[in-house]
Amino acid sequence: MSIKFDVVKDYPSPSTKLLCYDMFDLNSREVLQMLVYQISLQLALENAPIEITVMHNKARHPRMKGKEEPPKVDWKSFNQQMSRDFFSSSLAFFAYQETGETTHLVAISHQYLTQDLAEDEIKYSLHKTGNCISSCQVIEIRETTMSDCCNVLLQGEDNDMLRGGFRFYSDIGLSTVKDQLDLTRRKDGWRMEEHISTTIWQKKNEAMLHIRQIMGHRSLKEEMIRIYHSGNHKTFLEHPVHYSIHASSRPAAQEMIDALVGGLYANGRILSKRINYFCDFDGASGNERSIRTLLDSAKYTAVAAELPGSVARTVRPLRLGASEMDISRFWLEETVKHHRYTLFIFVQISEEECDWEKNFERDLANIVDVVPLYEGSGDETATRNYLNNLSTLKGLPSFEDDDLREVVPKGIYTPTHAIEIFDRLCKMRLHRDFYPAYQNIHTRSAGLGKLSCKNANPTLQLSQMVGLREIKSLVERIVAAHKMKKIRRGLNLKENRGALHMVFTGNPGSAKTTAARLLTGIMKEEQVLSTGAFIECGRSDLVGKYVGWTAKIVAQKFQEASGGVLFIDEAYALVDRSNSFGTEAINTIVQEMENHRDDVVVIFAGYPGKMQELIESNEGLKSRIAFYVNFPDYNTEELVKILCLMAKERELRLNPGILRKCRCFFQEVVKEDNFGNGRYVRNLLEAAMMRQAERLIAMSKKHEITRQKAVCLTMEDFMPIKLSQVKPKSQMGFQMRLASDTV
């Protein structure tokens, strides 16, 4: 039998192997384990299974009388010898399947497996078990997961090539992994999912292209630039930073982790492509021992730990008697123990960061340096490309352009939302193209409109709104000032942060609330605000019923808005001359604005004339306002644009005749005071939808309602809306044009 090796994957050069041998006394067993770890630093993973396919050629023997079968390798004896020697060896091979002349083995190594090492070890092991080998050839070698390793070993048991049992898996350190595979023994619910990163890009340009394809956030792009920096050391020493990922879904987070690990592996920052993802850990102390065992075997790999965020907890609540502090304590202890050689990635699956997560990140930052990464977003073009790339990755054909334009209208989408759209597109294509009898069967909502502000990237959403030129400029100034503050801090210069309190003035429907929400999201994204909390309130939420109540209520609102924005709508209503409660509220607000000037931004909103009365009612309030932003009424063309945006959000089509008719309505309505701006457009469209529904239902008795009819409005559906009061419009000077609250 002959054996020869040909390694398909190029592995890092074992340049530091001799140096590692010189550092330790090989006669000490305890130090020998450290030697393995050091060699693994450059050469392999501790207990890293590598799936190998060996081609063995039967050696020719002298002719003998009669036909005799050539000798075969006793793989069962070979495997038994490997299991006995594993405890005292750093490398073991186990055969699990024979197909023709090809034998499949799995290797478990405490050090890096190279071509020469594998060849020598297999030859030595085969000779040791009485098999004479002259050469062999490795036709494939690749890294695999611990779970796949257990699966092929179980396959070896079925093929009668391996004698398993608890002791066998315990001796080779895979008993806990095998327990995870046995669904009948997974009563606790927690699990470890393993994955081999497939996004290995040797060049930075290729990595950045991949980040754009997955709609990566700016934070991920910046970190990838740091990873590919030419000045970085290209061999692994220890991890300089660890990561926290904020996403709205597990698939989106795993996609970011896969790209991150791929970049680190390509630059020698991590020695394995294996990702160990821990999820659904409910804090039970009985599970900690099993997880610690798996963490020990995950040395030199990436460990992703899903924290109990708001979304995760709705799926699986904490175990009775356990608390989030128990989970925090456990992961902090394990980080202290393993952070030098194990890459930790803490995942938060939630739309908003909770207090527990903030405390955990603060405690974690005291142990290691942490780089926060956020879920990205993209416009409709990037989202359509994302969907086609995902379809290609799964071995499916690309989607038709008409389907993509229909389900992905103009807007901003996150990967989480794109993945949901992908599932629905696949279902729609399955019904339409393969099972047309079920084409009209829909058990879930088909709405695929634009994301809300909470899920979309606020910067991109603000940039696509109608108007808002001045507030966009204001955002740029605030962000630039914050970045300059960080630069001054790095230069050990005095930091001077001015107050950011604002006054928004404008008529109803002029986007004051929407602008405030987007501004909050942008300041959170740029780390101007720590939490990004948005607390909206009015007079009834601030003024108490009895003496002494108002001050406590106002103080509580500021506490809720800590690290974010306190938005006071119709703030002019606080000017109250009938009793002192409104005045008490204003005085308390001024005092709290000073007390929280570094962590709360207050935005007062209301009508232009009445807001001036509020500002002049208190000199202290007037001196603390940094920005005044006027929101003008829309002109005719802006109202037409808003109508088109609203129709797209509702998956409705407007023909040119409808737009001409509505333009005439808008030309008349803009001459009136307080016509409602964007709200007038919304009411006009909703009234047209009501007429369309009445028309289609009446005709459905004779004709079927098709999709084409359902999405098309007619000119007859649009009728002008009469305003209750008509007054001459006063001339006012405005500084900016803004979009509707509903856009």
CB 633 within 8 A of CB 735: no
User: How many helical (H) and strand (E) elements, i.e. helices and strands, does the chain have?
Assistant: 29, 15
318 & 367 share domain: yes
Which candidate, 358, 346, 192, places its Cα nearest to that of 281?
192
Query: Is residue 737 in a domain?
Result: no
Query: Is residue 38 in a domain?
Result: no
Task: Supply the pLDDT for residue 323.
Answer: 63
595 & 518 share domain: yes
Through-space distance between the first and last CA atoms of the chain, rounded to whole angstroms? 74
621 & 643 share domain: no
Q: What is the mean pLDDT of the chain?
A: 76
Task: Supply the pLDDT for residue 40.
Answer: 23
Rounded to an integer, what is the distance from CA 513 to the centroid of its chain?
27
From 134, 161, 184, give the residue that closes a domain. 184
Residues 6+ apart with CB under 8 A from 514: 453, 465, 739, 740, 741, 742, 743
Q: What is the CA radius of gyration of the chain?
A: 33
Query: 3-class DSSP state for residue 402?
Result: helix
For residue 56, give both structure tokens.
Answer: 């063995």
Please work out, in degrees rounded to the nearest 5, the angle formed at the alpha carbon of residue 107 by the alpha carbons of 102 and 112. 125
Report the number of distinct structural domains present in the chain.
5
Query: Is residue 15 in a domain?
Result: no
167 & 201 share domain: no
CB 239 within 8 A of CB 340: yes
Could you tell me the CATH number of the domain that includes residue 343?
3.40.50
Range of the domain at 651: 636-717
CA distance 410 to 383: 10
Query: Is residue 4 in a domain?
Result: no
Residues of the chain with confidence (pLDDT) below 50:
1-48, 58-68, 183-187, 310-316, 318-321, 444-455, 725-743
481 & 616 share domain: yes
Task: Supply the pLDDT for residue 676.
Answer: 77
In DSSP terms, which residues pair with 568 in a beta bridge?
537, 604
Task: Supply the pLDDT for residue 194.
Answer: 85
CB 83 within 8 A of CB 61: no
From 582, 606, 631, give the residue that closes a domain. 631
217 & 179 share domain: no
Task: Supply the pLDDT for residue 114.
Answer: 66
CA distance 476 to 84: 67
Query: Is residue 441 in a domain?
Result: no
Task: Supply the pLDDT for residue 649.
Answer: 78
From 607, 631, 655, give the residue that closes a domain. 631
Task: Supply the pLDDT for residue 147.
Answer: 80
Task: Supply the pLDDT for residue 690.
Answer: 92
593 & 608 share domain: yes
220 & 338 share domain: yes
Q: Where are the beta strands (DSSP E) in 327-442?
A: 343-349, 370-374
270 & 240 share domain: yes
Which candidate, 53, 43, 54, 40, places its Cα nearest to that of 15?
43
CA distance 733 to 727: 18
Query: Is residue 42 in a domain?
Result: no
Task: Supply the pLDDT for residue 253.
Answer: 93
Strand pairing class (564-569; 343-349): unpaired
CA distance 283 to 291: 11
CB 286 within 8 A of CB 251: no
Task: Supply the pLDDT for residue 456.
Answer: 57
Could you tell me the CATH number of the domain that includes residue 682?
1.10.8.60
Residues 6+ apart with CB under 8 A from 404: 384, 387, 388
389 & 242 share domain: no
Query: Is residue 8 in a domain?
Result: no
236 & 347 share domain: yes
Query: Is residue 10 in a domain?
Result: no
H/E run at residue 406: helix 401-407
424 & 554 share domain: no
